[in-house]
Each structure stands twice: as C-alpha cells, then as structure tokens.
Amino acid sequence: MSANICQPLNKNKKVNKETFVSSLLLQMTLKEKIGQMSQFNNDDKKLKSSIQKGYVGSVLNEVDINTINELQRIATQESRLGIPLLIGRDVIHGFNTIFPIPLGQAASWSTELVETCANIAAIESSSNGVNWTFAPMIDISRDPRWGRMAESLGEDPYLCSTLGVAMVKGFQGENLSDTTSIAACAKHFAGYGASESGRDYNTTNIPENELRNVYLPPFKALADAGVSTFMASFSDLNGVPVTGNSWLLNDVLREEWQYTGPVVSDWGSIPQLVTHGFSVDEKSAAFEACQAGVDMEMASDTYAKNLPSLIKSNNVNIEKVDLMVTRILTLKYDLGLFENTFTQSTPLDEHSNDFHLYVAKKAATKSCVLLKNTNQILPLSTSKITSLAVIGPLADDGYEQLGTWVFDAKINRSITPLQAIKDYVGDSIDVKFSQGLATSRSNNQKDFNEAIQIAISADIAIMILGEEAILSGEAHCRSNIDLPGCQEQLINAIYETGTPIVLVIMAGRPITLEKILPKVDAVLFAWHPGTMGGPAITELLFGEACPSGKLPVTFPRTVGQIPLYYAQKNTGRPASDATFVDINDIEIRAPQTSLGMTSTHLDTHFSPLFPFGFGLSYTQFEYKDINVNMCSVTMGESIEISATISNTGCFDAEEVVQLYIRDLVGSVTRPVKELKGFQRIYLAVGHSKTVVFKVHTDELAFYNRQMKLNTEPGLFNAWIGCNSDTDLKIAFEVILEQ
C-alpha cells in the first residue's frame, strides 16, 4: 500500500484553495483523475477496492454513518492521495423528518419556511455523513400528468426561482464548510418539465426564446445564488440530449453565466446517449458528455472505460479533464472535507427533534390549500358536532402521506389525520372510521357499505382521499389525473347519504375535481404533507389554524386542457366568456363559421378549475386602492406599486398578496400576466395594511428576437390580488431617459 501523501489539513492553518487544489491535481495519475469524475452506487461490489485505488470521487445512496466513516477512512488513509469522498443522497423534502413534498412547500409561498425545511434536512442528513443532495428540482412544471411535478416548485419562473434560492440557502447554510451544511444541486438542467405527454425521460422541444424566458431563469437564479452543483437533464432538448449538449452546458452555463461548479450526470444518462440514438457506442457517448462539460458520471462507468483511450488518441484534451477534476476537488475543499472528513455520531436531542416536528407541522399547515368551503362548513366546531365519520384509505396511513422520495424517513414519527383527530376531540365527539377502499387505486367496493353506515350516523363525513405516494414521483406519470380507483364512486355513495362531506386530498399533483366538486361541501388540498400532516390537517379542520396556502400550479378542469398555465400568450383570437360556445349549444348542421373562432375547446370552458395562486381562507380579504408612485418610470429606475388589503371577516389570518404585470407590447409576444412579487402578511380581524412592491425596470426584462435580455419601453399593466385571476389593475409606462 502506498503512503498517503495528502494528509488532512491543519484546521488552524490557512491554505490557499487554488494552490492546494492545483498542487493535488499535479500529483494525480490519469486513472485517479477519472476516478474523481466517477460516482459509484453503494451496492457496487468493487466499491471499497476502487476507493482504495483512488478510483472513486463520490458514493451514492449510503446513509449509515459507520459505513460512510469507513469508506472515508479508506479514501483518506488507504488511497495514495487521501482524497475524501462526496456522499450523495436524494434529500428532497426531508431526511428523517419529512416535510411536505416540494410542490406542497411551494404552496406555502414562504421563502422563510422553505429555507428552514431545507436547513433541517441538511442537519439531519449531514449527521449521518451525507454531504451532497440532489435538490432542489427547479424544472418549470406545467403538465400535471408528469409524476415529477411532485418534486417541483410549480409552473412559474418567479416563484420557482425565489423558493429555489431559499432552498439552496437552507441546504448550504452560511458557510458550506459548516458540519451541518450540505451541497445543493440545481436539477434538471434544463427543460425536463416540458417532457412530451407528461412522460418521464421523454423528448422536450422548447424554442430558444421560450427556454430563456421560462425554463432557464430559475437555474440562472440558483447559479447567481451560489448553488454548489448542477445536474444535466435526462431529456433530449431540441434534438440534442442535455448530457451531450455543449450549447447548454458550455455556451450558456459556463460562458454566459460564468458558473464554475461541477456538473453531474443523471443516473446512467451518459450511456443512454447511445439509446437516444445520439452516440454510436459508449466510447462516443463518453466523448460527447465530456466535451459538453459533464464533470462527474453518476452510477455508470462510461468515463472510466473510455476516457483513457479518448485522451490517448487526442480526441479529449487532458487540460479539459484537469479543469473538470479541479471543479470536483474545489467543491470538496469548500465543503471542508479535507479538514473534517469524518462524521461524529451526534444524535439529535429531544429538543431538536421537537423543533423539527414543529416546523414540519407548520410547513404542512401553510401548504394546505382550501379550494371550496360551502356555507362556511369549515372550521368544524366541537360544540356543534357529536359524531364524525372519517373515511378513506389515506386517513390512517402514516407512510403514504409522506409522498415520493422518502428513503430515510422515520415512519414511526408520522402522525395520521385519524390519529390527530381522535387526539384533538378526545371523548367530546364520537369518531368512527372506515377505509372504504383498501388503497387509493382499488376498484373493489366491498367495504363501501361500512363507510356508508358510519356516514349515515354522523354529523359530518371527513373523506381523506387522493393518491398513494407511489402514484407520483419519478417514472410515475399518469394519463388520467382523476382520483384513481373507484374513489369517485365512494364519494357518490357518501353523497347519497345526505351527510355533509369535507374532502381532504393528499396527492403529488393537481387532480381533476370538476365532476366531484358539486358532491362535497369543502375541499382541503393537502398534497403529500409529510410527517406531521395529521396534526396540521386537524388544526385546520377545527379552526386552530386558518388556511393560507395558495396554488403553485393551475388546476385544469379536464386532462384535455393540459398544458394549462396562467402566463399564457393572448393569441390573435383570445377566448372570452362573450365568445365561448358550448358544444351543446351548437345547432345541427351549423355552418363552419358559427362558432366564434376563438382559442378554446368546445367541450369544456377555457378557464381553469382553479387558477394559479388560488386559495381560500376562513376570513375574507378585501383588496382596494391600487396605486403607483409614478405614472412613468425611467429605464434603470424603480416603480412602487401598492394596494390596501383589509381583513373584513371573522378570523385573524395570513394572506399571500400577489403582484402580476403584463408588458402590453413587445418585440416578441409577452404573457397575459407574469408574477413579479408576493408577500405573506398577517392581518387581525378589522385591520388593514398597505402592501408595497418595488419593481426595478430590469425585472421587466425578457429575451428578445436576438436572444438578448433587455427591458423595452412601453405600456404595462399591473395587478395586485389574491390569485392570478384578479382584476384590481393599474397602468404605468416605462420610458427611455429623457
């Protein structure tokens, strides 16, 4: 065994990072360099021997602290150069404590909460030896058929950018070298959320103007915010798979944005260049990925097998490889791994665990969205109810409420709605429970009668339905986004009893609800709420908390409307209520020109079921007096747009105030509305607040026909309201300097 010539650094000794990394690089053999570019899964049979030889830069999916410390010991004490390992794990919305799925967290519209959740996830995962997460996923997601929408932050570039930056801050902390910080990863760069037909791994065709104006801004925001790593998308982007897309990874990411961190492939995506039909064999795939700028290969070994011969034949320049390895070594330096390689076993104390659960409940509470509340049936009053029927396969399933990507969850910590409701009401209300269905996707109605009987004898039926966790997430896409199985039939059966229905939905995506909305009195959309979903839902149902979540995605009436999003273009013939023609109103043998000739469907209204930003409260908020501090703003300056919001209802509550802007005329057509700001405010009953948004003209910029980012002078409309379908509007003008 060779002696270790790269001993861990003295903590008290200042060492220049560039000098240290370049010195280390000079000592490396070609195989050791390629080793740093290789990420091994933890089940690889050659893992330990490969680490010992210096042929592994990162290990994926190992979370046992003793095993990780042993692997780090081998890397730092038995390999020739003693280079520590990156330990990667999908820490997506929690580690041991599970928070709402990212789409649910996005419904909170709270940067503070999103950052805190990520910070706790970093604390818990880093205490097990993990130092790198593959999150946040900031793909703009406008097709709810796509299973990975659950992992996204929604459909809007501004909201996604803002919350994505907050998540990176939470993971990476104040200093990446802190023992409780982990490296974040901006994924999937880029356009993955536009996969055709909502099918995972599918082709994406996105015009460059749309790519730059919609899909790239969150990635640019995270690059500017100092995210440690990027992940290349699986998908084929405009004919060139991103793993081999030099324009995106080099021209845009490296040259335009000046990003200097490592880019990692997605799982096995380099050899998949062959499957795409982009590369003739794995040697060609290794060449394309390396030339494009993929610094590290996840799980597969295409680099290890093929880069030596590509370098020997001068097809790949060794200087390029050196630069890629430098990025990886620099990340390890920034993480402090050369100084603090090993993880000390420090189990969280009771106080820390209690705080993490408190945040999990707070996150679940603020992420739930109240979609319907007929006759103010919610909140429920314990003084007016003597019996409750709790019905549904998701009412008492601590695992399913956690959602996708929960490999390391402490399932025994998960508190279900049924548990929480029983704990809350105690002996004051008789609570009866029936699953009604064995699972969310069951078509067996054998247990319907039990559910019907308990509903008949109850004052209120709380139905907790939706999707099991496995029905969303990676590779779990759906062509039909109705409630799965025979849940709709179960709702119809309970509706026939005459007992009022409060419907709670747990799901990883928007669900098409138009057919069942008339059958239920209230709908609380809880996403997959995580560990403390039960207590959060219970406190909302009984008025201990007031719903304040807002939709981060548009809810379609039917799957045929997809893709449906608020920031659409106006078109030359926009639909309106005045021009809408229903299929049933068309006369038999009507001439072809009788139908209005607007951009709409004949068999459904053109509007969404629920617009982006929508969410009810138990109180009422009045918006009025929208104003600007100047009618014209000079290019390069800022304008202030304000409105007064009053709580005119009966509950103290929080509201998410939203600012939308439209550029009325542009050198390329602009969306009918774009989110440009939001504020979460608290208002006591009878109180008012003037909310002010300061908007710089740079924030009105877009990519023009020449793909240049600039703001164009002209007229703008601004709206302030409670969702994207608001009509409180004012105009202003952007002018050139006079």
Instruction: Collapse the DSSP code of 490 into the 3-class scheme (helix H, G, I; strand E, B; otherwise coil) and give the result.
Output: helix
Reply yes or no: is the peptide bond before residue 186 cis, omega within 30 of 0.
Answer: no
Mean pLDDT on 549-577:
96
Of 13-27, 255-269, 310-324, 501-515, the range with the lowest mean pLDDT is: 13-27
Per-residue model confidence (pLDDT) at position 231: 98
- Confidence check: pLDDT of 13 > 50: no
Neighbours of 326 (CB within 10 A): 20
**Residue 83 and residue 54: Cα distance in Å, rounded?**
8
**251-259 contact pairs (CB < 8 A, 24+):** 252/216, 253/189, 253/219, 253/223, 253/293, 254/293, 257/220, 257/223, 257/224, 259/223, 259/230
SS (H, E, C) 698-716: HHHCEECCCCCEECCCEEE
Per-residue model confidence (pLDDT) at position 590: 81
Cβ(24)–Cβ(355) under 8 Å?
no
Residue of 510, 468, 467, 474 whose CA lies nearest to 148: 474
Which amino acid is residue 650, in one-letter code?
Answer: C
**Residue 559 and residue 564: Cα distance in Å, rounded?**
9
Phi then psi for residue 369, to 5 deg, are -115, 125
Among left, alpha and beta (phi > 0; psi -120 to 50; other), residue 180 is alpha
Give residue-wise pLDDT tens across range 563-575: 999 999 999 999 9
**Residue 206 and residue 411: Cα distance in Å, rounded?**
40
The pairing of strands 632-634 and 729-735 is parallel
Tell me the HSE value of 150 on the side-chain side, using a 13 A CA sphere.
37
Per-residue model confidence (pLDDT) at position 162: 98
**Residue 180 and residue 229: Cα distance in Å, rounded?**
18
Of 205-209, 212-216, 553-557, 589-593, the range with the lowest mean pLDDT is: 589-593
Per-residue model confidence (pLDDT) at position 341: 97
For residue 595, what pLDDT band results from cuts at 50, 70 and 90?
low
Mean pLDDT on 531-553:
98
Length of the chain: 738
Structure-block tokens of residue 630:
């100047």
**Residue 285 and residue 269: Cα distance in Å, rounded?**
9
**Residue 488 and residue 448: Cα distance in Å, rounded?**
12
The side-by-side arrangement of strands in the sheet containing 460-466 is 369-373, 522-525, 501-506, 460-466, 387-391, 430-434
Give residue-wise pLDDT tens across range 219-234: 999 999 999 999 999 9
Q: Which of 6-10, 263-267, 349-353 has the highest mean pLDDT?
A: 263-267
For residue 594, what pLDDT band results from cuts at 50, 70 and 90?
low
pTM value > 0.95: yes
Among left, alpha and beta (phi > 0; psi -120 to 50; other), residue 611 is beta
- Confidence check: pLDDT of 130 > 90: yes
| Domain spans in the chain, listed from the N-terminal domain onward | 621-735
For residue 1, what pLDDT band results from cuts at 50, 70 and 90?
very low
**Residue 440 and residue 435: Cα distance in Å, rounded?**
10
**Residue 583 and residue 74: Cα distance in Å, rounded?**
70
Give the DSSP H/E element, type plus range, for residue 640: strand 638-647
Buried b / exposed e along 133-160 (16+ C-beta atoms within 10 A): bbbbbbbbbbbbbbbbbbbbbbbbbbbb
For residue 5, what pLDDT band results from cuts at 50, 70 and 90?
very low
For residue 14, what pLDDT band results from cuts at 50, 70 and 90?
low
Per-residue model confidence (pLDDT) at position 591: 79
Reply yes or no: is the peptide bond before residue 608 cis, omega within 30 of 0.
Answer: no
- Confidence check: pLDDT of 504 > 50: yes
**Residue 531 and residue 527: Cα distance in Å, rounded?**
12
Per-residue model confidence (pLDDT) at position 347: 72
The side-by-side arrangement of strands in the sheet containing 86-89 is 132-133, 86-89, 58-60, 38-41, 297-298
Per-residue model confidence (pLDDT) at position 592: 76
- Confidence check: pLDDT of 669 > 50: yes
Question: Which residues, including other chains, have CB under 8 Å from residue 315's CB and lie 6 or more apart?
Answer: 287
Per-residue model confidence (pLDDT) at position 583: 87
Give residue-wise pLDDT tens across range 415-461: 999 999 999 999 999 999 999 999 999 999 999 999 999 999 999 99
Per-residue model confidence (pLDDT) at position 283: 98
Phi then psi for residue 579, to 5 deg, are -105, -5
For residue 188, what pLDDT band results from cuts at 50, 70 and 90?
very high
**Residue 129 and residue 65: Cα distance in Å, rounded?**
6
Cβ(460)–Cβ(432) under 8 Å?
no
DSSP annotation of 559: G
Per-residue model confidence (pLDDT) at position 9: 46
- Specify the higher pLDDT residue, 353 or 37: 37
Cβ(601)–Cβ(560) under 8 Å?
yes
Per-residue model confidence (pLDDT) at position 169: 98
**Residue 188 and residue 268: Cα distance in Å, rounded?**
14
- Confidence check: pLDDT of 383 > 60: yes
Structure-block tokens of residue 70:
């042993």
**Residue 451 and residue 461: Cα distance in Å, rounded?**
9
Give residue-wise pLDDT tens across range 16-53: 999 999 999 999 999 999 999 999 999 999 999 999 99
Angle at 353 between CA 351 and CA 358, to 5 degrees: 95
Per-residue model confidence (pLDDT) at position 738: 67
- With 0-12 / 13-18 / 19 or more C-beta atoms within 10 angstroms meaning exposed / middle / buried, residue 531 is buried
Angle at 672 between CA 671 and CA 676, to 5 degrees: 75
Helix 448-456 × helix 487-495 angle, to 10°: 30
Structure-block tokens of residue 455:
């509903």
Cβ(76)–Cβ(4) under 8 Å?
yes
Instruction: Give the chain's mean pLDDT.
Output: 96
Residue tagged active-site, from 156, 236, 266, 725: 266
For residue 336, what pLDDT band results from cuts at 50, 70 and 90?
very high
Give residue-wise pLDDT tens across range 710-724: 999 999 999 999 999
The pairing of strands 58-60 and 38-41 is parallel
Which listed CATH number (2.60.40.10, 3.40.50.10540, 2.40.50.140, 3.40.640.10) goes with 621-735? Answer: 2.60.40.10
Q: Which residue has the tokens 């003793």?
A: 66
- Confidence check: pLDDT of 350 > 80: no
Which amino acid is residue 73, in one-letter code?
Answer: R
Per-residue model confidence (pLDDT) at position 408: 97
Phi then psi for residue 530, to 5 deg, are 90, -165
For the chain, how are helix, strand and coil distributed in percent, rounded to 5?
Answer: 35, 20, 50
Per-residue model confidence (pLDDT) at position 8: 44
What sign results for the dihedral spanned by CA atoms 422, 423, 424, 425?
Answer: positive
Among left, alpha and beta (phi > 0; psi -120 to 50; other), residue 501 is beta
For residue 11, what pLDDT band results from cuts at 50, 70 and 90?
very low
**Residue 620 and residue 293: Cα distance in Å, rounded?**
53
Structure-block tokens of residue 8:
């861990």
Cβ(410)–Cβ(571) under 8 Å?
no
The pairing of strands 297-298 and 38-41 is parallel
Residue of 102, 635, 41, 70 whose CA lies nearest to 343: 70
E strand spans, 296-382: 297-298, 369-373
Question: Which residues, including other chains, have CB under 8 Å from residue 72's CB and lie 6 or more apart?
Answer: 84, 85, 129, 341, 342
Cβ(473)–Cβ(147) under 8 Å?
yes
CA 340 to chain centre: 31
Catalytic status, residue 266 = yes
Give residue-wise pLDDT tens across range 139-160: 999 999 999 999 999 999 999 9
**Residue 706 and residue 667: Cα distance in Å, rounded?**
10
Of 14-18, 171-175, 668-672, the range with the lowest mean pLDDT is: 14-18
- Confidence check: pLDDT of 12 > 60: no
**Residue 357 and residue 409: Cα distance in Å, rounded?**
13
**pLDDT over 70, % of the chain:** 97
Neighbours of 474 (CB within 10 A): 18
